Chains A and B, each alone.
Chain A
């Protein structure tokens, strides 16, 4: 399995490359008042409206208040720190590659994206090497993790993004650690 890897804070994370549609430099986005705090906002990429997820908030990390640029007339917020948007494929798009993958890993219908701090390499991971998350792993609650892999000296956390883009209700009712759980 090829995995796209990223850095988020000091954690090394990865997602199945088949689920990734494209990666952009972070750009202007529009917040959605009243939405959950881990929804950063909406983004227009070539006519598609992407809902951006703030992974740090999703993992309920201590509020890292982004530094705002002041004295700027733009209504839209520009993150001063260079970040990257990882735009995911939709269920429909993954369906064309693999029905099984779409049903288990990519259950969202809307175009969504993740915000990460830095980009890493594409890694080839052998499925057998993926281990269940260690119980003492800090920072990411177990349902969000599909497994961990030791790569060189680092520990790569492979995300269960079906859970990340699922709603909290589902989390409560369907707490499994494996990757193969449908959200909808």
Chain B
């Protein structure tokens, strides 16, 4: 919002053309058209009706929007859908197979690694990414490498325990 009496008779900048984007989301090819300013997060939520991925800040400050793009965990709020044309995206909706939960999803339930559940899709996608990276092993390392996912309910110790369970380093 701009203060002061700026030129208000000028026409606003025109909107560009919509662009076609193809993503493979949770194993299914999805084609849609969006304006270039649509983030991957908003594309998933508003255009593909995959609302499991959450918006918590829209600025890469909370991790709630974490998804896996080509196997890597990223903040979907800070990338444009058009930039990801052709990518493989995995969201929280794509982790269970034929109704069987991913081991990390089950571990989150077992260890009560959430309360309100809003950061949970991002935490789980982040945890899947962490496990795939194969770097973080000790509790110190898991804490550090999960620090991009804020949980305001404060479930952190349970999140660490859930990841350890899924990694097979803790029952």
Q: Do A and B make up one complex?
A: no
